[in-house]
């Protein structure tokens, strides 16, 4: 279907111009300048509730304040007395977002709880996981890969291989470096195993 251009009149300067039929609307303008000038006519005279200054505003806006400064004064957002939630001291907020009296109080409140106080604390298991950098662990992993011909024992993939402990590292410390307790799995099969069997 051909979208033909038709002759229309600009709603601001009355100049005739061509416009695609599909683009026609209630108001049509020959350029951006005419569009802006036309809508400027919709501006109305307003008086600021704080400083009494006269300003132009749009019909569809509230038009109560001439500037952000007057808005903040009205709402008492800046220079408002607040109580710091950490040290309970009273302070004057210089910005609307100010909740804390100092950076120190912000950091105290925002920092995540450490160790036993954290909801996800698991008794320091990161110490148990440091083994991956040890020479003994690297030797065991290479022996498992070599025995399994550098292939996943589940799907045969040779990409992104992991050496998995059949008996868990945490519960069977005596089996940690036993080659018979290892199996080569690709990353996908390894994730799937833990999803089905837990850790």
| 85-131 tens-digit pLDDT | 888 888 887 766 678 888 888 877 776 566 666 656 666 665 555 66
Whether residue 142 is found in the same domain as residue 192: yes
Q: Which domain holds residue 69?
A: 43-74
Whether residue 29 is found in the same domain as residue 13: yes
Whether residue 193 is found in the same domain as residue 166: yes
Please state the domain count of the chain: 4
Cα separation of 55 and 48, whole Å? 7
Q: Is residue 117 part of a domain?
A: no
pLDDT at residue number 186: 93
* Alpha helices by DSSP H, the chain: 32-40, 68-75, 103-110, 125-128, 135-147, 187-197
Whether residue 191 is found in the same domain as residue 138: yes
pLDDT at residue number 149: 93
pLDDT at residue number 78: 58
Whether residue 137 is found in the same domain as residue 193: yes
Whether residue 60 is found in the same domain as residue 96: no
pLDDT at residue number 114: 63
Pair 128, 168: CB distance under 8 Å = no
Residue 182, pLDDT > 90, answer yes
Q: Is residue 12 part of a domain?
A: yes
């Amino acid at each position: 279907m051909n979208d033909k251009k038709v002759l229309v009149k600009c709603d601001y300067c009355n100049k005739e111009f061509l416009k695609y039929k599909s683009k026609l609307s209630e108001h049509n303008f020959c350029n951006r300048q005419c569009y802006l000038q036309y809508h400027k006519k919709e501006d109305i005279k307003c008086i600021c509730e704080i400083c009494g200054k006269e300003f132009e505003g749009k019909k569809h806006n509230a038009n109560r304040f001439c500037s952000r400064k007057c808005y903040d004064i009205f709402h008492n957002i800046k220079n408002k007395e607040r109580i710091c939630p950490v040290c309970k001291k009273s302070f004057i907020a210089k910005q609307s977002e100010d909740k804390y009296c100092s950076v120190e109080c912000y950091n105290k409140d925002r920092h995540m709880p450490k160790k036993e106080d954290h909801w996800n604390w698991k008794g320091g298991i990161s110490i148990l996981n440091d083994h991956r950098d040890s020479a003994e662990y690297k030797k065991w992993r290479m022996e498992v890969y070599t025995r399994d011909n550098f292939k996943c024992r589940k799907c045969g993939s040779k990409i992104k291989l992991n050496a998995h402990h059949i008996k868990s590292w945490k519960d069977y410390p005596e089996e940690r470096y036993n080659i018979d307790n290892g199996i080569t799995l690709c990353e996908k099969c390894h994730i799937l195993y833990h999803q089905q069997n837990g850790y």
